[in-house]
Structure 1
């Protein structure tokens, strides 16, 4: 096929090595092999394809050495993606080679230890991905001139970078700087930014009010840093565009006074692991699209925010390790089920009292009769952000586990370490899609209900440190997926159930 110009075999399950003959047609403009299961080296004939403009080879099992200096002689190259293979790059950083037409380059997971020198001359670059490498130290100042007026995507995440003094690019939309060692104050991105992810670093200081000028921002993830001070109230001005606001695991203080406007787009709010005080802000009622609300590990002093039950899309509610108190009572919304989509609720380590909120629990529709075959491949957050944004830490099977991606069939109730009283009522049997149930460290009395046998998907059941009496029901042997059962520190008697 001497006239072949376009060969695209991406997103298949092709395996084996790439035949050299497929690189033979000298007229090739595009040859795409990404997202397959290919092994072995890239045929050397690729260096002779002078007309080549697109070379996507990412996400395979390719190995061997790629001579980047020879690739740089393909002057028509626009798109180069060698990411996520087992390739190592041979780069002569002394040679000032350049690709005058290059717009997209991705060298993620290519074992780079420094910024490639050829980037210095890439004035037209639109996307640069050097993530998941071994680049240490400061970001060199010359990088600020790379694609100065054209760069739209910058991903330097998962390296060992220590300093980035500014973000001078005028047209950036995606900025991925998470999982580095960046220190100092928070750099302010340009007003064109849609996604700003700089979590898992060592940033200090307060959030500058200038960040509230980012009117196109969809995702703001500043979690896992050492940022301090109060959370700027003006962040509410971003809620018409913002889908994700993650400020978790920092050192923010004071009350959370951000006012969310009606009709806002917020889906995920995470303030976990700070020192926020006061009450849950009522303006959350305006967040009709909210799916994840994580206020855990703060100093919030409030009663149960029953008014959240009107948020019809809420799937995850975490209030653990705060100062919530009082009776939860019954739901207030007449004629409608409260929390119709709630799948994970964690109110552990508070001071709730009174009877278990059975009137709520028996109405949790999303924990009943879930069609797992239909939903097993669906993850929360996929429609609006792919990059592990739905991060929730729960106690499951006796261990504290961080879930960075949550299947929509994953359901947990954790009401442990409170002052709940009374019996475990039979109505809990309706939640037959539940995976984890933790009612430990309360003042629950009565027998272990035989109706627990209907929780067919239960993997973890913790009723320890209560005042339960009687025998362990033989019916619990019906729980075929149960891996952890903790009934310690109660007053149960009789034989341990056998069978199954």
Structure 2
């Protein structure tokens, strides 16, 4: 291939039915800046020769049948800004991406990766990314063998990070309060792990968070009202934990909130009425799940009357997603 087109800069073969090994001649295309092979059936290992692509900026190998370890030579492509390796069968440690100073997007989800191969092993995978000052998007979710990952270094992440997803990675330990330092964070997903301790109370004024998903951990303590500092919240899911608190009336003031899931915790007491006269509660709420708690009394009629977003067919229908639902446990 590169013998005939030695100066090729963009090679896009995505969304076909190509199979077998990735053609070895591709690694000789040293002028490549973009390589897209996603949504095919390529299999086998990725050659260490990938390190020859020194000017490569975008690499997309998503949704193939690739196996083996991610070659450490990938870090020789120091101009990489986008790396998509999700939905394969990669195993073994994650290379140290710390010297990819231009890296902005890193997708590693839905593989069988186990950790990090670097001098930062004792600190875990996240420490190897603290030098990536342009990183905005990190998704390592659905790598259930990543038991060694630590969250302690999350406060050292670049403030440019806007989305961090690490669902179903067997992560233990606590959520560090330093997440409040990530001023541009919009999506934070640590669901389906083994986290303990408390939900941090350090969400600052002007917080940009839009989605917080901590479902399926072992978090205890109260539900931090500092989340009211995040006026753009649309999804708030802390279901299936051990939170002990009364109903968070303040969530009714989150005017963009569409999903509120508190199910299977230790919430108790009566559900107080919304106190603000300036606005009605939950104007855009579409999912309301407070089942399997210990609430008593009755649900204030003001809430039910204002669940208008659940009644708007055009707003609620989402094609293949079906209908949003309204679910809550009978309150005794």
Deviations 1:443-473 (A, max 9, x none): xxxxxxxxxxxxxxxxxxxxxxxxxxxxxxx
Please tell me whether residue 272 in structure 1 is matched to residue 215 in structure 2.
Answer: yes
Say which SS state the counterpart of residue 203 (structure 1) adopts.
coil
Q: Find the aligned partners of 1:151 and 1:135 in 2 and give their Cα distance.
A: 20
Corresponding residue number in structure 2 for 1:196: 138
Q: Find the aligned partners of 2:138 and 2:283 in 1 and give their Cα distance.
A: 31
The two structures have a TM-score, normalised by structure 1, of 0.60
Choose 70-79 or 98-107, whichever is displaced more.
Answer: 70-79
Deviations 1:106-127 (A, max 9, x none): 1112322221465231110000
With a CA cutoff of 8 Å and minimum separation of 6, indicate the structure with the bigger relative contact order. 2
The two structures have a TM-score, normalised by structure 2, of 0.88
135 and 271 in structure 1: CA distance in 2 versus 1, 3 angstrom threshold: same
Say which SS state the counterpart of residue 355 (structure 1) adopts.
coil
Give the one of 207, 212, 217 matched to 2:156.
212
Give the one of 304, 313, 324 matched to 1:411.
324
Please tell me whether residue 231 in structure 1 is matched to residue 147 in structure 2.
Answer: no
Q: Is residue 193–residue 216 contact of structure 2 (8 Å, CA) maintained in 1? A: yes
Q: Find the aligned partners of 1:179 and 1:284 in 2 and give their Cα distance.
A: 30
Any residues of structure 2 matched to 1:280-291 within 5 Å, and which?
Answer: 280-291=223-234
Corresponding residue number in structure 2 for 1:152: 81
182 and 298 in structure 1: CA distance in 2 versus 1, 3 angstrom threshold: same
Per the TM alignment, residue 77 of structure 1 is displaced from its structure 2 partner at its CA by 1.4
Q: Is residue 260–residue 289 contact of structure 2 (8 Å, CA) maintained in 1? A: yes
Corresponding residue number in structure 2 for 1:261: 204
91 and 361 in structure 1: CA distance in 2 versus 1, 3 angstrom threshold: closer
Deviations 1:272-302 (A, max 9, x none): 0111111110111100000000000000000
Per the TM alignment, residue 186 of structure 1 is displaced from its structure 2 partner at its CA by 2.7
> Matched residue pairs, number?
316
Q: Find the aligned partners of 2:298 and 2:169 in 1 and give their Cα distance.
A: 39
Corresponding residue number in structure 1 for 2:118: none
Q: Find the aligned partners of 2:294 and 2:27 in 1 and give their Cα distance.
A: 65
Corresponding residue number in structure 2 for 1:357: 300
Q: Is residue 72–residue 96 contact of structure 2 (8 Å, CA) maintained in 1? A: no
Say which SS state the counterpart of residue 179 (structure 2) adopts.
helix
Corresponding residue number in structure 2 for 1:23: none
Q: Radius of gyration: which is bigger?
A: 1
Corresponding residue number in structure 2 for 1:394: none
Corresponding residue number in structure 2 for 1:186: 125
Q: Find the aligned partners of 2:22 and 2:307 in 1 and give their Cα distance.
A: 58
Deviations 1:202-240 (A, max 9, x none): 2124213255332100100011111111101001110x2
Say which SS state the counterpart of residue 146 (structure 2) adopts.
strand
267 and 137 in structure 1: CA distance in 2 versus 1, 3 angstrom threshold: same
Give the one of 110, 130, 133 matched to 2:61.
130
Q: Is residue 243–residue 267 contact of structure 1 (8 Å, CA) maintained in 2? A: yes
5+ residue gaps in structure 2?
Answer: 116-123
5+ residue gaps in structure 1?
Answer: 1-69, 379-404, 422-500
Please tell me whether residue 316 in structure 1 is matched to residue 259 in structure 2.
Answer: yes
Q: Find the aligned partners of 1:411 and 1:335 in 2 and give their Cα distance.
A: 27
- After superposition, the CA RMSD in angstroms is 2.2
